[in-house]
Structure 1
């Protein structure tokens, strides 16, 4: 195994970690207007991810930075060809982050409702478009001999990629519902568990269809195994949720996302961006990579700093591991109103 292969594997791990952790963040944001009926319940939902959502987004930054440094040709062709979809994702993530920070700045129901809508849209759009993007990466795009994307925007909206987008959307919503059932008490917990029972079956059908399509078009024995693991884990999550074992259900949905992402990267390898015009024009782990010296330096940096990041993030999850409910949300103190002036002084 060369350093090119090692860094392809590391980038796959980074994207897997991002989908695993940010996946339930997106799910909670999408479920915000569905599972909450009052301001206290909305604050409960937001507080389940409040301490960790920004740390989860670091995985995306590192994955993008690692792609830029290890496979600059891949990065250049991907971000130039997918410019508009990636720009939309970036804007959605920025609006979502601002909404988390500014939602409580003004004591106004209208103000909070507007930022809640921003959280919903800022969670739904990336959850959908990441699947569309990776569907196109695995399927291949129109790359010419200079590794330039020569297709249009609508070429990216093909049936396979759209099914991939629907798959990630449903997987993240299911993952988020299971996370809420694990992290909350009271009505929200029961609502989230009931929603998982209903949406989980739809997710199983859609995700199963997408993985089957991937297997038939680009798969082999290894991808068949990981796809079966993903399907089995999702079935296990639904069974665990039905038996009210939220911890096992969350581990199972996490396993589903890990196995499904592994299936996509295994189906992609040794390409990093296939060309639908001519296989010779495809970007691979060899012709898209940086120099061996660059990859060597990156490897030493990753070995030094990755354990520190993992330990810190694991510690933060441990600190905020307990369930929360509306009883933990402090009630707003009414603003004192001035006493009315006597009738003679009006």
Structure 2
């Protein structure tokens, strides 16, 4: 006896498969990370991130115009700061004429409708490569949060639409939200890195910004005292709840593909937009395996970003954003 229900009827050909497809990618789903450096006509390929570049401000302007033509509408900005501008207090982070502040203005002048998100953390500005101020071998939480709030206001003044605190200090979302409100930036949003894990997938990113923790006496060798332990799931829910209660508009899980259970848990628990960061290590692994001929680059790339969206991500920060959208257009 043959079954009345044959699920394969809905897989007969690509037209039918696309008709019943549950998860659809579009340019609206992507946030494009951008790395910015000082100089003119600088386009430096990042060694550990093939075909991804650090850009000077003049080429940044060209890049965001190209993104707009692809209907990519949101960028997340990171800056590579010169060593002579780094200190333990992140002084350069609040310079109104700093590289981040100028980058925001360049993007907004080039494409006024582009949504600009800015990285808020001290590691690019820290002489120790940490996300907070170091005292007696420890990262000091509350003093760091105060500087992050000042940094956020500086970005808002430059024209940022969202600030994106990636530091994982306790209570920093509330401090940032209150500072933005006090300064009149009531419409500046916060995308909180709510469940950011102490992951081994970040190596190429730290190469891109020269922001890895330095080795030295009384300097923590890693970020495990403030980023989350990857063994934990319930803790991610607690962290996310705190950020929402403190005023976060968007919450983020980072990294991506190894944390899809966390993405789904957060999406099922909270009624807020959820972002996922498909990080540099995830990008580099696909690039390296494809270069060896061990896998199909485009097929794996599309499968992974689709899996991230299927898990519950409303938006994906991805170094593949341009490549994915070009494939979607084709």
The verdict on a shared fold, with TM-score over 0.5 as the criterion, is no
Higher relative contact order (CA 8 A, sep 6+): 1
Q: TM-score, normalised by structure 1?
A: 0.24
More helix by share: 1
Name which one, 1 or 2, has greater alpha-carbon Rg. Answer: 1
